[in-house]
Amino acid sequence: MAGASSQQTAAQTAIRQPQRLEQQPPLKGLSPQSLDLKALNASYIDAGAQALVQWGLETFGDSMVMSTSFGIQSAVMLHLVTSVAPETPIIWVDTGYLPDATYHFADQLTERLNLNLKVYQSPLSPAHMEARYGRLWEKGTVEALNQYDRIRKVEPMQRALKELGAKAWLAGLRAKQTEHRNQLQPIGTQNGIYKLLPILSWHSRDIYNYLTEHELPYHPYFDDGYVTVGDWHSSRPLSADDDNERDTRFQGLKQECGLHLPQTEEEAESLNSSSL
């Protein structure tokens, strides 16, 4: 087909690593104003996902971490990152309410990819939380779901980033997943930490191609019709009535769990004004 040979998917670009971002010495005493994000994001347009991970490793050294949920497509980022930086600490926030299949999937990928896995949990056990606040996911309000997320997800993640001395955080967010993520750029900041999003521009076909090329598995729930999976009580298979895949999470009441949202009003305002 004419022109077909010149076209590349984002996944192929990631593998071939066509362009490197400007290398910088490992940064110490870093602040979110230390790097020129506008220039870096302009450079990243043609760099590829693997190149961004490599730049992150060269720039931040052992203060770069990654988060994972061991969700439907998590094998992509885990393989992509560890193929470049195998010692990267992988933060997994275990809410205590994950399906059995997720725990088995996590064990499978941890062994296969030899992950440097760091598991964090809320200091409040599920039973203690339910005794104190009730089954928050059954209250049917955004406020209750947000409280649940702060206890079981946000607090453990913030603690992990602090304890691991993270200056840069790799995450597998994609622009098409939520309205908030569609505003992001590959290199940004969140709560005083640089945020690197190597597959932000990837589409579902890119994910499929990468998984296929590297013979990586989907989460077992994919075969049951799930396109995203979190806690057992807040995830369901995709239906014909869903307008967006994120409608299958959080009873359709919200799109984000809070891990990837600004943590202060000032940061939210900065995000809005900069379109990052």
Residue type, 66: M
Q: Are 152 and 97 a contacting pair, CB within 8 Å?
A: yes
Name the residue with tokens 């840069």: 168
Give the separation between CA 241 and CA 155, rounded to whole angstroms: 34
Give burial (CB, 10 Å; 0-12/13-18/19+) of 172: buried
To the query of whether residue 276 is one of the catalytic residues in this protein, the response is no
Catalytic one of 14, 76, 257, 276 = 257
SS (H, E, C) 164-220: CCCCEEECCCCCCCCCCHHHCCCEEEECCEEEECCCCCCCHHHHHHHHHHCCCCCCH
> Beta-carbon neighbour count of residue 113 at 10 Å?
18
Q: Within the chain, what is the greatest distance between any pair of CA atoms?
A: 64
Q: Cα–Cα–Cα angle for 151, 168, 44, nearest 5°?
A: 125
Give 118's strand partners: 91
Q: What positions carry a catalytic annotation?
A: 257
